[in-house]
Structure 1
Amino acid sequence: MGLLTGLLLAAVFADMASRKIPNRLVFTGMIIGVLVQAFLPSGDGFMPAFKGFLFGFGLFFPLYLLRVMGAGDVKLMAMVGCFTGSPAIFGVMLCTLLAGGVLSLIFSIKIKAFRQMLDNVKFMIFMKSIKTIGGGLTSSHDMAASVGSLPYAVAIAIGTAGYLVWQSIRF
């Protein structure tokens, strides 16, 4: 998992510096992840790596469509799925979402925007669900004012590391 750690750290530094995760980094990582899974004795094979890619991409893609995260974050999670395989990607994603929530709380408190974040959460839960039930889609002018942006590669790296460490301790 040293390769995955190095790729995630590179993504974190790039995301923090420019709020972008380079495609070259992610696509290279995807290829390496599939090759590691397919050809190393400790790998699970090509299909679990491919399924990890599909689930990592597919489960985060709706968040991109809702403008909750960027495309680079979705591709980075797909890359992680190539390394972890299909069974583990679900745990990685849960840990990543948990890490993202905690980091968002810390970030909003640090910039003194916690109240605005709570208002945004209420807005998303109530207003969007009411509009969806009524048959309408939320338009961009219905969005609440953003508290700011978080380099989500940090949450992906923490969530991935946390899950992998937990798995190694558990077994």
Structure 2
Amino acid sequence: MGRRSLTHPERRRAVVYTVLFAFLTGACFTDLRRNVIPNWLTMSGAAAGLSLHLLLHGWEGLVYAACGLAAGFGCLLVLYMLKALGAGDVKLFAAIGAIAGTEFVLSCLVYSILYAGVSGLLLFMWRRQIIETWRESLLLLFNIRTERIGKAWEEYAASDNRIRFPFMIAVAPGALTAAFFWIP
């Protein structure tokens, strides 16, 4: 009796959040455990997002999900080409976009990059590599200034000194933060 029933848009949003966080839980588990996000998971997440919005909103919903998929894929493809992250992360953000839409996936990306920066800084400090990393970063910036960026970036990307960690360490809190502030 004292319980407030959800309105129609609130129920739809709850369904989207449920699908999104079920998908992210699976991705987080596999990425942290095996350092890979499997294709079957990302493809089923994208298919779920496209199907969900088609069912909820018809053709407009399908277009909405497809635009989110393209936004997530396109933004992360640039980072993949720079060898900043793996192909699974690109497909992960495509699926997030299909499930939650363009605005959410872009917001999630910004927050995830911020969390990745903080995580990387903490790992640098923990591994006591911060001075060496600053030296390499300054060298990379010098090479950018002297227009030798291509070679310098490839050397840095192939370096064993890079700190690597599962991107889901940043994506999970990034998605939670985006969801907290997201008002569709």
Q: Give the CA RMSD over aligned residues.
A: 2.5
Q: Is the 8 A contact 2:68 2:94 kept in 1?
A: yes
1:148 correspondence with 2:163: yes
Deviation track 1:106-130 (CA, whole Å, cap 9, x = no partner) reads 2222222222332343344332353
Which of 117, 125, 137 is the aligned partner of 2:150?
A: 137
d(CA) in 1 for partners of 2:154, 2:75: 26
Name the SS of the counterpart of 2:147 in structure 1.
helix
Which of 88, 106, 114 is the aligned partner of 2:130?
A: 114
Which of 77, 99, 120 is the aligned partner of 2:93?
A: 77
Q: Is the 8 A contact 2:120 2:163 kept in 1?
A: no
Deviation track 1:73-132 (CA, whole Å, cap 9, x = no partner) reads 111011111112123322121111111111111222222222233234334433235325
TM-score, normalization by structure 2: 0.79
Name the SS of the counterpart of 1:72 in structure 2.
helix
Which of 75, 84, 100 is the aligned partner of 1:68?
A: 84
d(CA) in 2 for partners of 1:129, 1:78: 34
- Tell me what 1:16 maps to: 32
- Tell me what 2:9 maps to: none
Q: Is the 8 A contact 2:65 2:98 kept in 1?
A: yes
Structure 1: which 5+ residue stretches go unaligned? none
Give, as a single letter, the amino acid of the residue that structure 1 aligns with 2:155.
Answer: D
Structure 2: which 5+ residue stretches go unaligned? 1-16
TM-score, normalization by structure 1: 0.84
- Larger Rg belongs to: 2
**Worse overlay, 82-91 or 92-101:** 82-91
Q: Is the 8 A contact 1:64 1:74 kept in 2?
A: yes
Q: Which runs of 4+ in 1 moved over 4 A?
A: none
Identity %: 24
